[in-house]
Structure 1
Amino acid sequence: MDDTRLAGATGPRLLVPSAALLWGLQFAFLNPALALLLVALFHASDAEVGLTLALYNASGFVASLVVPAYADRTRDYLRPMLACSALTLAVAAILFFAASLPVAVVVLVALGGPAGVGSSLLFAHLKANGTPPAQMMNTRAIVSFAWVAGPPLAAFLIGALGEHSILAAIALIAVLAFTTTAALRSRSGPAPAAHGGKATDDDGAVLPRAAVAVVVFAFVALQATNNVVVSIMALFTTRSLGLGIEWGGIALGVAAALEIPALFAIGKLTRRFSSLGLIASGCVVGIGYYATMAFVASPVALVAAQVLNAWFFAVIAGVGLTFFQQIIPRPGLASGLFANTRRLGAIASGAIIAFGSTLGGYAGAFLVCGALTLAALVAIGVVWRITRRSAEARPSRAGLDQAKRA
């Protein structure tokens, strides 16, 4: 891509990284602290917290399909991002002054779900303007950094200044995100016209809808296994390994921190290897990680295994996003659908934990995760065969078309 065009498409060098950091921080502050806010500010019971979070996530699921689809039709992803920033500001302000749980629930469902689409729209904007996969991966690494730094910062604010302080911080970040997105929009030209026909992957083979469905299945399974790890790590370290609860946080923190350099490294590898090849390698690493976790017996081994976890999830988060954008012709829908594989995976993770624990405690849950990762690897292999067949068939069809014209 021409450097001038890229600069025109994404604005000055710091605008896109700044937008990625701010969009990541908004929800790295809100989502981990939301249950605490519901209890502390609105005296919600455990059942009410569960119901509220379920409704909030359901709203986000629907919004991740509807809002990006609208953006695809208009070929404008930055204007809806401005609206998402305004909605985030409204959510923080209303929750700050609200006095009852029903008001909080309505606000989170009506405004909070759509507000969370902004990050997906940023990546859709970058894809629509021809941003290469390596740069997309670097931008995704910045969002990951926000999720590493956000929860500890939120906890510090709440501990030092009280629960309302986190809402004030979210409001401030939303204002900064609005300003950055507005600056990005003022410097960006209109998105190029969409190409007709079906999307192609990085090897140039056409993917039918059935193959796209197989990819979605694989990523829901992979996202579910990652959510299982996050959900049970503290319990695994205390109940299975007999360690202090801080070891669960150390393990997850190491994995999250290592994910950032892993994303930068994977960005460079996208220039040499296909997306399907990288995803398959990530699945192999993931299988090794879950097998290791099922038999780990010491804190050193626990922390060392997180190197595998970091690479595995970096492939899912980084290559998965760009691959969805390769196989689905509409950037907004692609980014939204990828985001929803994580939501569906979170829903499925509860059943995985329940089933796996009956087979052998938390070690059993890790083994089930390994089996699901193997199933995802098989699914990726099926998609690879479909792409190869399509690629081999295309020259023959081209030859026939040329003969007809002659």
Structure 2
Amino acid sequence: MNRLLVPSSALLWGLQIAFLSPALALILVNLYGATTADVGWVLAVYNASGFAASLLIPAYADKKQDYLGPMLVCGALTVVLVVALGVVTTLPLATVALVVIGGPAGVGSSMLFAHLRHSGARPADIVNTRAIVSVAWVAGPPLATLIIGWFGNRAILLAIAAVAVLNIASTTALMRHRQRLARASGGPPAAPVHDGPDVGRLAVVLITAAFVLLQAANATGMTMLTIYVTETVGLDVLWAGIALGVAAALEVPALILIGRLTERFSSFGLIATGCLAGIGYYVGLAFVHEPVALIALQPLNAWCFAGIGGVGLTLFQQIIPRPGLSTGLYLNTRRIGSIVSGPMIAFGSLTALGQRGIFLTCGAVTLLGLLTIAVASQTRSRGTTAD
């Protein structure tokens, strides 16, 4: 049973996010009468709240060296959030609930990965746990839309609450109980094992900037794929859904495989392979004209995500000794990357290639991210040699 606690927690946290994220816009429109512009503004301030919370809460957890306590609180806040969204009747009140409660509640999954790092988990274990979250994302959005279609918009709030309660009762609380028993028995406190390269502040800044670029390219590719397939390639929207489904299904084995490879190869090298796969995917996508080629490119997409989403997380945990801060900073590269994706879409679409230019821009940005990581790696090597 103990072996199932962390995987179960990862699955439940993944389901909470996979239920809420795709359904949130529908909830805002159907329950509170939000316009498209309103949805944009609400999501912007909601994500800003999440950005701040993913820095402040991990900092507190690092100071206390306790990550399960904040994770338990985040689970409880999820329940409070869905109750608030179910009770309020106006968009301003719903926005307040999302900002004040939803932002901090969303930090819970990052606390799980910080706890794993603090407990001395290997990079392979952390990547495997990340793969379980991807499993939740394969099943979560279709299941959420099914619940909404059958039972209405408020039903998804009940589903999220049920998952959160199950998470609190069956996983987080049990892990916290086990931790207390271990401390009461006189065992040494858990501490992360330093198994990564020694880097300076310049290298950390460069790696963070590189991941913002990589995350921006990934967010742009996901955002634009459906529109691109239907408007530019001229295929039925079904093919866009198939492509996204194939990529999501391949993410899990890609993460498991790359997790095993972390035992043999450096994080920098594995991330570089992910970047090269991403460049190949975006360039190939820019010249797609038929569905077979579209589907054939998805393994490259999956490997790119495994490098950025799996090994990237462990790299941040290796180069920054504070588990909470490192995990929160990594997750915020995704948030900032999503913001950067907007100008990327605008710039790419203004080229002579139209929407195809957007994916060439993604390839160029991924190449820039790869070069930045290479510079950071060399900075680290020179610093280590000087020591």
Letter in 2 for 1:100: T
CA RMSD of aligned residues (A): 1.4
- In 1, are the aligned partners of 2:114 and 2:323 still within 8 Å (CA)? yes
Displacement of 1:392 after TM fit? 2.1
How far apart in 1 are the matches of 2:245 and 2:356?
21
Displacement of 1:270 after TM fit? 0.4
**CA-to-aligned-CA distance 1:268-324 (integer Å, 9 cap, x gap):** 100110000101111111111111011111001001101100000111000000000
Letter in 2 for 1:387: R
Aligned ranges 1:261-276 → 2 under 5 Å: 261-276=253-268
Displacement of 1:80 after TM fit? 0.5
Aligned ranges 1:5-404 → 2 under 5 Å: 12-179=2-169, 180-188=171-179, 189=182, 192=189, 202=196, 204=197, 206-359=198-351, 360-394=353-387
- In 2, are the aligned partners of 1:200 and 1:207 still within 8 Å (CA)? no
What TM-score do you get using the length of structure 1 for normalisation? 0.91
How far apart in 1 are the matches of 2:189 and 2:177?
16
- In 2, are the aligned partners of 1:325 and 1:335 still within 8 Å (CA)? yes
How far apart in 2 are the matches of 1:315 and 1:80?
28
**CA-to-aligned-CA distance 1:195-236 (integer Å, 9 cap, x gap):** 8xxx9763x4x2111110000011000000110111111111
- Say which SS state the counterpart of residue 209 (structure 2) adopts: helix
**CA-to-aligned-CA distance 1:44-93 (integer Å, 9 cap, x gap):** 11111111100100000000000000000000000001110111001111
Letter in 1 for 2:73: A
Q: How many residues align?
A: 379
**Structure 1: stretches of 5+ with no match in the other structure:** 1-10, 395-406
Change beyond 3 A, Cα 1:261–1:193? closer
**CA-to-aligned-CA distance 1:307-361 (integer Å, 9 cap, x gap):** 1000001110000000000011100000000000000000000100000011121
How far apart in 1 are the matches of 2:234 and 2:13?
38
Letter in 2 for 1:315: G
- Say which SS state the counterpart of residue 253 (structure 2) adopts: helix
Letter in 1 for 2:174: A
What TM-score do you get using the length of structure 2 for normalisation? 0.96
Change beyond 3 A, Cα 1:194–1:261? closer
Letter in 2 for 1:183: L
- Say which SS state the counterpart of residue 242 (structure 1) adopts: coil
How far apart in 2 are the matches of 1:224 and 1:119?
21
* Identical columns (%): 58
Letter in 2 for 1:34: L
Which residue number in structure 2 is paired with residue 6 of structure 1? none
How far apart in 2 are the matches of 1:105 and 1:157?
23
- In 1, are the aligned partners of 2:148 and 2:156 still within 8 Å (CA)? yes
- In 1, are the aligned partners of 2:32 and 2:90 still within 8 Å (CA)? yes
- In 2, are the aligned partners of 1:201 and 1:207 still within 8 Å (CA)? no
How far apart in 2 are the matches of 1:260 and 1:232?
22
Displacement of 1:193 after TM fit? 6.7
- In 2, are the aligned partners of 1:201 and 1:326 still within 8 Å (CA)? yes
How far apart in 1 are the matches of 2:270 and 2:178?
34
**CA-to-aligned-CA distance 1:153-177 (integer Å, 9 cap, x gap):** 0000000111011000000001011
How far apart in 2 are the matches of 1:38 and 1:153?
19
- In 2, are the aligned partners of 1:201 and 1:323 still within 8 Å (CA)? no
Displacement of 1:393 after TM fit? 2.6
**CA-to-aligned-CA distance 1:124-183 (integer Å, 9 cap, x gap):** 000001000111111000001111110000000000111011000000001011111000
- Say which SS state the counterpart of residue 354 (structure 2) adopts: helix
- In 2, are the aligned partners of 1:88 and 1:174 still within 8 Å (CA)? yes
Stretches of 4+ aligned residues off by more than 4 angstroms: none
How far apart in 1 are the matches of 2:85 and 2:370?
43
- In 2, are the aligned partners of 1:287 and 1:374 still within 8 Å (CA)? yes
Letter in 2 for 1:246: L
- Say which SS state the counterpart of residue 364 (structure 2) adopts: helix
**Structure 2: stretches of 5+ with no match in the other structure:** none
How far apart in 1 are the matches of 2:116 and 2:14?
16
How far apart in 2 are the matches of 1:373 and 1:201?
27
How far apart in 2 are the matches of 1:238 and 1:354?
18
Larger radius of gyration: 1
